[in-house]
Amino acid sequence: MVKRKRIDLIDYIKAVCIMMVIVTHWGWESKAYPPFTFGIRMAVPVFFLLSGYNSYISYSRKKDDSLKALYAPSEMLPKLGWILLPYTVLYIIEAIYSVVTGIYTFGGVGDILGTYLTGGINRGVFGGYYVTLLLEFTILSPLFYSLMKKNPFSGLLCFLVGNILYELCVSLFHMPNPVYRLILLRYIFMVGVGYFMAIKGTSADAATNILMILSFAAGVIYLCAYDYHGYMSNLTIYWRSTCLFSFFYAVPVIWYLFYFFKDRSVPSPIGKWWAVIGSSTWHIFLFQMVWYRLKCWQIYGAFPLFWIIFINELICVSAGVMWQMAESRMRKAVRNR
């Protein structure tokens, strides 16, 4: 079993990303601005890179890291419960509200199950698709770990090829957009990069620097061509601003953040609060999803835009953190009974 020091940088990045998610889910008329192009829209891809990283760190600590052991109910059920418990609570609240107000009428058990597994009543709106993708990742992560542990370089290549083939199949067979969003393969390369970084670490030798510069340049050129010059790739047909080509920009950014700052922490109390936000991202994410769906922000919708965004951030982050803390205490109390 390998003991590793907690990496505060992961929580810091997650905290920034969840705040960017809250910003991007506001009803902007256009997102073709540099803050969105090179920052805000990269939040979910970065989340999956960090998920791959954390997954490897978690599994590598196990005394028995065989597939049989990692798929044991004692391993999988707590992971699935961590995702599904808060999500189910929010789904029930949203379902009751939607039925009572007449927003939605369920067509039967199949409809209930379908909306539940695809991110809620609004079928993926305001990030609901992430629920489905996170479940897929959790179920498949032992397989990813096993593949990457055996040969990180070959494994990463497989993830890259898999991502490319998925986009190609989507384009050739005209897969519907709602289906495309719900399949983890769209982010599989970022997942692989996360595993690779956890296994091999980050370096800044000459060869790596050249590769990262080329990757960064390719990503920037693609994003500028798409957002500001109307370029449409034939390989990707949906969500081109966060597709495989955009990852080439994001990967070097995260790579060098880990290289320079992985073992550093922000002095308290600022660093402590960033870490708290970072460790509460799942609950913050779920809260903002329903907050936007139910249009709660309309209470202060007449305020200037800056204040609307600020209040959205304050409410969603605060509510998510308090929810996560309350749930943690409840789980601890149940375990200690």
| Number of neighbours of residue 179 by Cβ within 10 angstroms | 11
Q: What is the end-to-end Cα distance of the chain in Å, rounded?
A: 29
DSSP 84: H
How much is the pLDDT for 76? 95
How much is the pLDDT for 2? 45
- Summarised one tens digit per residue, pLDDT across range 138-149 is 999 999 999 999
How much is the pLDDT for 1? 41
Residues in the chain: 337
User: Which one-letter amino acid corresponds to residue 120?
Assistant: G
Confidence (pTM): 0.92
| Number of neighbours of residue 73 by Cβ within 10 angstroms | 8
Q: How far is 314 from 292, CA to CA, in rounded Å?
A: 14
- Record the tokens describing residue 3, joined without a space: 């003991």
How much is the pLDDT for 4? 56
Residue ranges in the chain modelled with pLDDT below 50: 1-3
CA distance to 15, 223, 331, per residue, from 274 (Å): 6, 29, 23
- Summarised one tens digit per residue, pLDDT across range 172-188 is 999 999 899 999 999 99
